[in-house]
Structure 1
Amino acid sequence: MPLFRRNKPSWEPDWQTFPGRVPASADRPEADAMLHADLAAVAAAPVAELPVRLTVRVAFGATRPDGSPAAGAAHQLYVFEDKLAAEVAKRADGQYVGRVISDGECTFVFQLPAEPGELRLPAGPELPTGPAVPVQHAEADPDWSYVRAVFSKDPAAEQRSYNRPLVAALVARGDRVEVPRPIEHSAHFADQAGAGATGKELGALGYRVTASTDPEGGVTLTAVRAAPLTAIDEVSVQVQAVVLAHGGDYDGWGSDLVR
């Protein structure tokens, strides 16, 4: 280990877990992901002193339907994560930025001051299918392009994640999700201008829009249009995008049970 170490940039960590999307690559399509990242590091990106990206990928072998690790594997994965982050910090002076869980794999992401060579990776987590084998890869990424693309919050991905338990609850009560029914979306605006522009745009898309003003001058807007719950991701993201474009907050959607 060098006697003199360069000063590594520092910030107050802001670790958060949230849904997102992994961009398409040469060997896999774009996919939903569950992310855990230091958003303070993401906000500071790119950091000139840390121009090399290191990823360490572990395949679960056994997963839940959403691609997350099967029961019993998550704890082992987090133990491995702690050991890996400590090793990279000690041997390569690296900054741990976050992890990506998607499609049966977990990818741990670091930014380093230089190529790390072969690290002494800790033993892979002991999973129900046997010991996992970590795969290390490093490449120049002075712009932190991967970090900024993957770990920046994605409102559409978050909305899709919120939709799943809502639809599952209706299905558990016998809902016929393929049957179109009125779906009511709600949004709030600080002023009339944003609400008016949103109402006009959603009206042109076939929504029946109503609005009410609260005592503080804000506006609650509702938009109703029939659709099957099998299309709720596309529908809710469409409304959300219009609301956000005009400065509003999308509060979500509701639907009656259809048997």
Structure 2
Amino acid sequence: MRTIIIAIALLFLGTAYADRDALVIEALVANGSDISKVHEIDFFLDFDNLKQAAVVAQSMESQGFRVKVYENEDQTVTIEAKRFLIPTLDNIHRVSSTLESLTSKYGGSYDGWGTEIVK
């Protein structure tokens, strides 16, 4: 199920972040997740190189995210950042907006978020 929710987040790349966040939350609810409970949210950010990603990863760690940095076969870099929170639209908007600004500042792109179903 986790893959489905992440795929939904990535499917709406052309959709405004606010709309995309709402669609993912709707998909969580439709798949039986209790969005009043804390979820471990996975946020994804992409960069052209490790230098860009390292600066952002360090900033995110200082903000309480658990961060993993992956070098992809095409030499790009993906950050997977995890944080526990209740996936309300306001909470997700706040984090998404912050991550979009941070990645943009360092030449990356915010790729969305996903989570597992929590009953």
TM-score of the superposed pair, with normalisation by structure 1: 0.38
Write 1 or 2 for the structure with the bigger share of strand.
1
* 8 A contact 1:160–1:233 mirrored in 2: yes
Residues of 2 paired with 1:239 and 1:249: CA distance? 9
Q: State the match for 1:181 in structure 2.
A: 39
Percent identity for Structure 1 against Structure 2: 26
Mapping for residues 95-114 of structure 1, pairs under 5 Å = none
Write 1 or 2 for the structure with the bigger share of helix.
2
Structure with more contact order per residue of length (Cα contacts < 8 Å, sep ≥ 6): 2
Stretches of structure 1 lacking an aligned partner (at least 5 in a row): 1-156
- Give the 4+ runs in structure 1 shifted more than 2 A: none
* 8 A contact 1:202–1:242 mirrored in 2: no
Q: Tell me the CA shift for residue 242 of structure 1.
A: 1.3
Residues of 1 paired with 2:87 and 2:33: CA distance? 9
Helix, strand or coil for the counterpart of 2:23? helix
Q: State the match for 2:109 in structure 1.
A: 249
* 8 A contact 1:211–1:221 mirrored in 2: yes
Stretches of structure 2 lacking an aligned partner (at least 5 in a row): 1-14
Mapping for residues 66-145 of structure 1, pairs under 5 Å = none
Helix, strand or coil for the counterpart of 1:223? strand
Q: State the match for 1:45 in structure 2.
A: none
Q: Tell me the CA shift for residue 174 of structure 1.
A: 2.5
Q: State the match for 1:202 in structure 2.
A: 60
Q: Tell me the CA shift for residue 237 of structure 1.
A: 1.7
Q: State the match for 2:19 in structure 1.
A: 161
Helix, strand or coil for the counterpart of 1:253? strand
Helix, strand or coil for the counterpart of 2:78? strand
Q: Tell me the CA shift for residue 182 of structure 1.
A: 0.8
Residues of 1 paired with 2:68 and 2:46: CA distance? 12
Q: State the match for 2:76 in structure 1.
A: 218
Residues of 1 paired with 2:92 and 2:35: CA distance? 10
Cα gap change, 1:215 to 1:174, in 2 (>3 Å): closer
Q: Mark the structure with the bigger radius of gyration.
A: 1
